[in-house]
Amino acid sequence: MTDWKSLITQEMNNRDDSWDSVVSCTLTEEELCEQFDDGYGGSEGKPFTLWTKTRVYFPVVYDGKEWVESVSRDPDGKPTSHFGGESKPLPQLSQHSLTVSPFHPILIK
């Protein structure tokens, strides 16, 4: 279990930022502190955007795992990397259906 305030704080520490520089946030203090399961499965944290004087923070989810990322508030010439997972093409095995999960059958040509 975690909360957005803890995850945002971790990202702020990684970026030399702090709560003192917050300009605006779409969540209340109470919502920032609400506990949720950030583990794999389904996303449970509320959507948000938080602006500081130098960065914009937002939630990211991959396969139900949630965390916080941020980008520069102002143009800085640095590209933003992809967030989340990337899928790679499956090798050609046969003309039969290959089941990746019970919910997503994939037809291999």
Give the pLDDT score at 86: 59
Indicate whether 100 pLDDT > 80.
no
**Residue 20: predicted pLDDT:** 98
Instruction: Return the DSSP state at 26.
Output: S
Closest listed residue to residue 14, CA positions, set 69, 59, 84, 85: 69
Strand partners, 21: none
| pLDDT computed for residue 57 by the predictor | 98
Q: Mean of the pLDDT values across residues 53-73?
A: 95
pTM as predicted: 0.76
Band (107; pLDDT cuts 50, 70, 90): very low
Q: Which residue has the higher pLDDT, 42 or 48?
A: 48
Confidence of residue 90 (pLDDT cuts 50, 70, 90): very low
